[in-house]
Structure 1
Amino acid sequence: MTKESKIMNKVKEILPGFIVSLLIALVSMLFSNIIPKIGAATISIFLGIIVGNLFLGQKVFQSGYKFSESNLLSYSIVLLGGTLSVSKLMELGLNGILFVIIQMTITIVGALYIGKKLGFDQNFRFLMASGNAVCGSSAIAATAPVIDADDKDKGISITVVNVTGIFLMFLLPLLSGYLYNHETIQTSAMIGGTLQSVGQVVASGAMVNEGVKDLATIFKIVRVIMLVAVVFIFGHLKNKSDTERVAEEIVDTEKGKIKIPWYVIGFFITCALFSLNIITPEVSAIFKKISHNFEIIALAAIGLKVNIKDLIKQGRAVSLYGLFVGTLQVMSVMILINIFL
């Protein structure tokens, strides 16, 4: 098969799900003009959940949903960097970074302890800890090969982490409104410091307002940067006698590069270019518009991928694990916000 044929097959595979995500995003934008208080982001997610579970949840759409969620959201984050200056990033300050590190540490230690008390094996506990502390499915995928986790543990942990994140995605905007009256830094810290995936952070922040969404994304990016350290620590704990093997899993030895998600690097590059005025305000405005549109399509795909049947059928112990870890995250983030922010 030629390279062109492979590309065409990939496009055909992605197209059905992408078209559905795009149509839902367009409908959501239309409705947001009628009911602006709700916003296109919130409408897009809920409409996606309804359509995906009642009508268009078939396998033929899943590749397109996945592309729309992960790829478009990554592009959106890179473009977002071109709308934020370094001074905006500095709003986190030392307290903000300490807040993130301590929150991640509490999540990791708590997830390992809770999992042990519930009787889960070490590999599953490591996957749950990395997924909840760092960046959901991506962190689990990065951790699994280092600790030799099997596909079953990987699949269940991804499901539970995503389920926990989906519930918190809707809960945190309500909770932050009650506790902080949606004050930008505190609300952003709660959402960006707690939620499991980047998509959930963007979706939850967008339910509040644009400023919270942008700052919550920055909090989340700080957590994503910590992925390499978390994977290395777990790999070392699991394979104490084979440090070289752990390092090989985390570092691409052929290219000599650490496996940091590309969109994080892209975000900082575009942010630097904007801060240096290489990206002009006019171009930045275009970036903002495209980023917003990509984001709405991605949020539609996130909704379309939510499988309510999967949420219901999780076993009692696994469900309790997700519930306890999620509760711990929310409680600790409230305490740390009071201390640091």
Structure 2
Amino acid sequence: MNIRSITKNSFVSGVVLAFLIALISKGLAIFLPQLGGATIAILLGIVLGNSIGHQDRFDRGTKFAESKLLEISVVLLGATVTFQTVAEMGVKGAVFIVLLMTGTIMFTYIVGKALGFNQSMALMMAGGNAVCGSSAIASIAPVIGAKDEEKGQIITLVNLLGTVMMLTLPFIGLALFGDGLIAKSALLGGTLQSVGQVVAGASLLNEEVVQFAMLFKILRILLLVVVVFVFEKWASRSSRSLDTTAAAQPKKKKSLPWYVTGFLIVCIINSVFHIPTLVSESAHFVSGWCEVTALAAIGLRLNLKKFLKEGPKFMIYGLSVGAFQTIGAVLLIFLLLKG
């Protein structure tokens, strides 16, 4: 068997291609910090995937990178958060996050269904925006039976929406709240989709905002397990109500994905024993690379023609959700946190 045959029949080529895109994206992010490596990776992936990268020999590798690397990223994320975060934020901060997340999920789901998106896409959009972007979508997708193509489309939409919000919310916060540290931090940490977007957006203001915004963001991440559990029950109940022909057949009970369970276990260990800083930082570093590589693979596998065909509908959906999150966060901040 020659080298060409081995390459063609393995997933090495696809993984390497996704990693190279991630490497280039990380490098470009140094000069374009406002975009960030994650957004650049998915955009580069889309360009290459719909041109020279759309070849069968990359398929197995990009599929592996898209799913498994994102799963690993979710587990390692647990090493960067602790339950003590809730105490640092206070009761009002926790109430703010729970109310905003609940409102975002309900609004996003209702609007998604009204625009003609199926239940899986509406739930992934809801979870991705309410919790933590790509990681949340990766955790939700298997328990609700979402297709890979649907997952890729929603991850792309959430990342693009997050980039727009990351570039605008810091200035909205500055205009509305001035020197109000907690208010500005809550706006960014309570709405922006990914950890990277929170850090990048808050960095446009100052280091203090970065620290406090991450407190709000971490609580959203801690609630990932709850959201996945609720969505699994939600999807199961809907499928049972629609499936009248198989009513007599008992269905196998689903469990949480291994990586969501892994995230919770690592988070508990970190909360009880406090993982050393070196280990926590290393986990964050590896998690970041896994996520960017996975996003590059998602871009490579996205059918751009089909995505653009739904362009106006996706744009309306994204802007509606972003507007609701922003307005909802501002109102809740004035009610609960600004005093």
Calculate the TM-score normalised by the size of structure 2.
0.68
Asked if the contact 1:17–1:61 (Cα under 8 Å) also holds between the matched residues in 2, the reply is yes
User: Aligned partners of 1:187, 1:331: CA distance in 2, in Å?
Assistant: 12
User: Aligned partners of 2:32, 2:269: CA distance in 1, in Å?
Assistant: 36
Identify unmatched segments of 5+ residues in structure 1: 1-8, 145-150, 193-200, 253-258
- More off after superposition, 207-216 vs 61-70: 207-216
Residue 82 of structure 1 aligns to a residue whose secondary structure is helix
User: Aligned partners of 2:275, 2:109: CA distance in 1, in Å?
Assistant: 44
Question: Is the counterpart of residue 167 in structure 1 residue 160 in structure 2?
Answer: yes
Deviation at 1:294, TM superposition (A): 2.6
Deviation at 1:19, TM superposition (A): 0.2
Deviation at 1:113, TM superposition (A): 4.5
Partner in structure 1 of residue 259 of structure 2: 263
User: Aligned partners of 1:156, 1:41: CA distance in 2, in Å?
Assistant: 19
User: Aligned partners of 1:156, 1:287: CA distance in 2, in Å?
Assistant: 29
Partner in structure 2 of residue 228 of structure 1: 229
* Matching residue's letter, 1:25: A
Asked if the contact 1:52–1:305 (Cα under 8 Å) also holds between the matched residues in 2, the reply is yes
Residue 177 of structure 1 aligns to a residue whose secondary structure is helix
Q: 1:281 aligns with which of 277, 299, 315?
A: 277
Post-superposition CA distance 1:68-97 (Å, at most 9, x none): 233223323322322444323544554455
* Matching residue's letter, 2:12: L
User: Aligned partners of 1:69, 1:314: CA distance in 2, in Å?
Assistant: 22
- More off after superposition, 223-232 vs 206-215: 206-215
Asked if the contact 1:65–1:302 (Cα under 8 Å) also holds between the matched residues in 2, the reply is yes
Matches within 5 A, 1:38-57: 40-57=37-54
Asked if the contact 1:69–1:301 (Cα under 8 Å) also holds between the matched residues in 2, the reply is yes
Deviation at 1:32, TM superposition (A): 4.8
User: Aligned partners of 2:69, 2:251: CA distance in 1, in Å?
Assistant: 27
Asked if the contact 1:42–1:207 (Cα under 8 Å) also holds between the matched residues in 2, the reply is no
Q: Percent identity?
A: 29
Partner in structure 2 of residue 18 of structure 1: 15
Asked if the contact 1:190–1:334 (Cα under 8 Å) also holds between the matched residues in 2, the reply is no
User: Aligned partners of 1:11, 1:218: CA distance in 2, in Å?
Assistant: 44
Matches within 5 A, 1:9-158: 13-32=10-29, 40-88=37-85, 90-91=87-88, 93-111=90-108, 113-114=110-111, 120=116, 125-134=118-127, 135-136=136-137, 139-144=140-145, 158=151
Deviation at 1:329, TM superposition (A): 4.6
Asked if the contact 1:83–1:284 (Cα under 8 Å) also holds between the matched residues in 2, the reply is yes
Asked if the contact 1:48–1:300 (Cα under 8 Å) also holds between the matched residues in 2, the reply is yes
Question: Is the counterpart of residue 179 in structure 1 residue 172 in structure 2?
Answer: yes
Asked if the contact 1:45–1:302 (Cα under 8 Å) also holds between the matched residues in 2, the reply is yes
* Matching residue's letter, 1:173: M
How many correspondences in the alignment?
306
Post-superposition CA distance 1:22-61 (Å, at most 9, x none): 1122233444556667654454344334333343133432
Asked if the contact 1:204–1:213 (Cα under 8 Å) also holds between the matched residues in 2, the reply is no
* Matching residue's letter, 1:230: F
Residue 53 of structure 2 aligns to a residue whose secondary structure is coil
Q: 2:253 aligns with which of 248, 251, 254?
A: 251
Residue 189 of structure 1 aligns to a residue whose secondary structure is helix
Deviation at 1:262, TM superposition (A): 2.6
CA 127–264 in structure 1, closer or farther in 2 if over 3 Å, else same: closer
Asked if the contact 2:34–2:167 (Cα under 8 Å) also holds between the matched residues in 1, the reply is no
User: Aligned partners of 2:69, 2:46: CA distance in 1, in Å?
Assistant: 18
* Matching residue's letter, 2:124: G
Deviation at 1:284, TM superposition (A): 3.0
CA 337–158 in structure 1, closer or farther in 2 if over 3 Å, else same: farther
Residue 50 of structure 2 aligns to a residue whose secondary structure is helix
User: Aligned partners of 2:67, 2:90: CA distance in 1, in Å?
Assistant: 29
* Matching residue's letter, 1:23: L
CA 137–251 in structure 1, closer or farther in 2 if over 3 Å, else same: same
User: Aligned partners of 2:66, 2:214: CA distance in 1, in Å?
Assistant: 16
Deviation at 1:173, TM superposition (A): 0.3
User: Aligned partners of 2:102, 2:252: CA distance in 1, in Å?
Assistant: 20
Deviation at 1:229, TM superposition (A): 2.0
* Matching residue's letter, 2:163: F
CA 234–301 in structure 1, closer or farther in 2 if over 3 Å, else same: closer
Question: Is the counterpart of residue 300 in structure 1 residue 301 in structure 2?
Answer: no
* Matching residue's letter, 2:13: P
User: Aligned partners of 2:15, 2:74: CA distance in 1, in Å?
Assistant: 19
Residue 65 of structure 2 aligns to a residue whose secondary structure is helix
